[in-house]
Amino acid sequence: MGEIFINRRDAGNIPAFRFENGTARAPRYTLSMSGHDWQLALLESGTLYILDTMLVDLFAVGGGQGGVNGSADSSAKAGGNSGTTATVRRRRLDAGERYEIIIGAGGIGGPGRAETRNGGTTSMQILTHGVTTPTISAAGGAGYYDGGTWRDVVCGSGGGRALRLPQGMPYGGRDGANGGGDSGCPGSGQTTRAFGEADGQRYAQGGCGSIRGSDVIPFQPTNLTDGGGFGLVYRDIYDYLYPTDGAPNTGSGGGAGFAGSETFPTSAGNGGSGVLLIRNARR
């Protein structure tokens, strides 16, 4: 079974723990240290065994929503909304405890109301005598645009959507902001930085909406640094950019797509998977 084992003697200030992913391959994770501080990022689902009692901060990001696939018309299509974020500070994890870790999957790009577009929930739950009790949970991105209104929205940052240009390029929102364009999805208004800290890494960017027209200026990569997917850019049948997925383990939304003709690609980008960060308690 794939597992990682951190021994206090080998890792200095990091308490001992074991993480299993239930497969034959090694688990996906990152572990960073700076002075007396450490941080573990769990990139996939599994079981976490606590071998030393520790006081930690937790940060979770839900899976990003997939972008909207289009139909053969000129209507704007929305990028996927990001997953939500959650922070728990100074949580005590006792030696001998066992936690179920679920990393929310990114949603699949598809029709606007398709539930398969929604991102999955990221959670950490303690397992006691077969019963799970949530420790932290962050919902995946969700919502759709209908009749001039965004409905059933769940997100950190909103996906972009622009029916007309130049009312605004439909970039995905960042750090809890609304999606760009004239009809981007409202964001949560809450920071999506790690642990809610001003200098924390940004997660959970909305995906870009798709745009079409001979005067379109392509998206600039500098606006997608938090993992949001590109929306499809269509200038003519010989000049277009495919939509892309939200980056893995960022909780970002996928880029939108649409069909300009039968020969034109229709697939929207998938949402990025979520992540769980565990670090020594800082305050």
Tell me the C-alpha distance between 250 and 119, whole Å: 12
Mean pLDDT, residues 195-224 taken together: 77
Pairing of strands 85-93, 98-102: unpaired
The domain in which residue 115 lies consists of 3-280
| Cα distance between residue 3 and residue 178, in whole Å | 39
**pLDDT at residue 12, rounded to an integer:** 59
- 167-194 pLDDT, tens per residue? 567 889 999 999 988 889 999 999 999 9
From 137-141, 145-149, 151-155, 256-260, the region with the lowest mean pLDDT: 256-260
Whether 135 has a pLDDT exceeding 90, the answer reads yes
* Number of domains observed in the structure of the chain: 1
SS3 at position 108: coil
Tokens of 185: 């999805």
What is the rounded distance in angstroms from the CA atom of residue 217 to the CA atom of residue 214? 9
Question: Of 124 and 240, which is predicted with more confidence?
Answer: 124
210-217: average pLDDT: 62
Q: Judge whether 266 and 272 are in contact, CB under 8 Å.
A: no
pLDDT at 242 over 60: yes
On the question of pLDDT at 262 being above 50, the answer is no
- What pLDDT digit, counting tens, does each position of 26-73 carry? 889 999 988 889 999 999 999 999 999 999 999 999 999 999 986 544
Q: What is the pLDDT of residues 71-111, one digit of tens each?
A: 544 456 899 999 999 999 999 999 999 999 999 999 999 88
Provide the mean pLDDT of the chain: 85
- What pLDDT is stored for residue 238 in this prediction? 56
Tell me what pLDDT residue 240 has: 63
Distance between CA 14 and CA 29 in Å, rounded? 15
The reported pTM is: 0.91
Lowest mean pLDDT segment, chosen from 105-114, 176-185, 234-243, 266-275: 234-243
